[in-house]
Amino acid sequence: MSALPPPNSMTWEEAVAWLRNQPDADALVRACFFDDPLLQAAERFRDSSEWRAVRALLPAPGPGHAALDMGAGRGIASYALAADGWQVTALEPDPSPLVGAGAIAALARESGLPIVIEQQMGERMPFADASFHVVHARQVLHHARNLEQFCAELFRVLRPGGTFIATREHVVDNDADLAAFLATHPLHRFYGGENAFPLPRYVQALQAAGFALTHVLSPYESDINIYPTTVADVRRQLARRWHLPSPRLVPLWLLRHRSRRLTDPGRLYTFVGRRP
């Protein structure tokens, strides 16, 4: 890569723009859906194994059913939700035309999908109680300034019986793990905005808000957490390592057991719950 910028010298938009200009970062840029044209990146996301796994955890949209995409970033999940038939509101405080509300607006115009955009923070949202049938948050909770207040707001705007899903949330076990994760994150040093929480902190914050959790998915339990790798890839790798003739001989219960014992700083989890 080119010469590194000084620590904490960039905005998120500038950090992503810098990454996109690095000649050896193409695979990472595409895996993060930071590439252009944005509509093609959004279509690729909707076709990905990650989104297929998310879709399987969501109810089917009915007429007029509303979905909130929290911390929507470039709008790739907003696009996927809208293309799947949801009436989508994207909450994204950053006005950036590359990684924020400006990008979502351009994506909505080009795709012709009616995505409503609100530029607000998640700790206090401009929505009435019980406004949405689904609340979706991709890589959002770990950025919360106040995780408990953030989860309480998510619960407030979700309708009774509605579904909440938070995907690809960074998990650490202690302060030393957090420091190790931040030191190795490819962009944190430049803009200083990454974070992670212990698994019990996420679970307790969501349950204290009132959610009934239906899934707490560790890394290897879903393609959501390991995309662009898949669970099938992991089973193939283990089958080769253990000299098994077929990946099907790697039982999913064993994969789940190994996954929940992982201690990698910053590993990804997904949380799914309902408002009773």
Task: From 228, 202, 213, 199, select the one nearest 163 (Cα to Cα).
Answer: 213
pLDDT score of 45: 98
Query: Quick one: what percent of the chain has pLDDT higher than 90?
Result: 95
pLDDT digits (tens, 9 = 90+) for 55-69: 999 999 999 999 999
User: DSSP E strands: which ranges in the chain?
Assistant: 66-70, 87-91, 116-118, 132-138, 158-171, 212-217, 267-274
pLDDT score of 4: 73
pLDDT band at 6 (very low <50, low <70, confident <90, very high): confident
pLDDT score of 33: 98
Beta-carbon contacts of residue 191 (< 8 Å; ≥ 6 apart): 8, 10, 11, 12, 14, 15
Q: Is the pLDDT of residue 25 over 70?
A: yes
Query: Quick one: what percent of the chain has pLDDT higher than 70?
Result: 99
Q: Is the pLDDT of residue 2 over 70?
A: no
Q: Is the pLDDT of residue 197 over 70?
A: yes
Q: Is the pLDDT of residue 221 over 90?
A: yes
Gyration radius of the chain's alpha carbons = 19
Distance (Å, whole) CA 82 – CA 88: 6
pLDDT score of 5: 77
> Angle at Cα 231 formed by Cα 73 and Cα 38, nearest 5°?
25
Task: Determine phi and psi for 273, rounding to 5 degrees.
Answer: -150, 175
Take residue 72 and report the two structure tokens written for it.
């929507």
Task: From 264, 231, 253, select the one nearest 50 (Cα to Cα).
Answer: 231
Q: Is the pLDDT of residue 3 over 70?
A: no
Q: Is the pLDDT of residue 233 over 60?
A: yes
pLDDT band at 117 (very low <50, low <70, confident <90, very high): very high
What is the average pLDDT score of the chain? Answer: 96
Q: Is the pLDDT of residue 98 over 60?
A: yes
Distance (Å, whole) CA 127 – CA 109: 24
Beta-carbon contacts of residue 227 (< 8 Å; ≥ 6 apart): 31, 48, 49, 50
Question: What value does the mean pLDDT take over residues 136-152?
Answer: 96
pLDDT score of 122: 83
Predicted TM-score of the model (pTM): 0.96
pLDDT band at 11 (very low <50, low <70, confident <90, very high): very high
More confident residue, 4 or 208: 208
Residues 81/88, Cβ–Cβ less than 8 Å: yes
> Angle at Cα 272 formed by Cα 154 and Cα 49, nearest 5°?
120
pLDDT band at 9 (very low <50, low <70, confident <90, very high): confident
Residues 131/154, Cβ–Cβ less than 8 Å: no
> How far are the Cα atoms of 13, 92, 126 from residue 119, in angstroms, in the given order?
16, 5, 10
Q: Is the pLDDT of residue 239 over 70?
A: yes
Complete domains list, the chain, with CATH: 25-229 (3.40.50.150)
DSSP 142: G
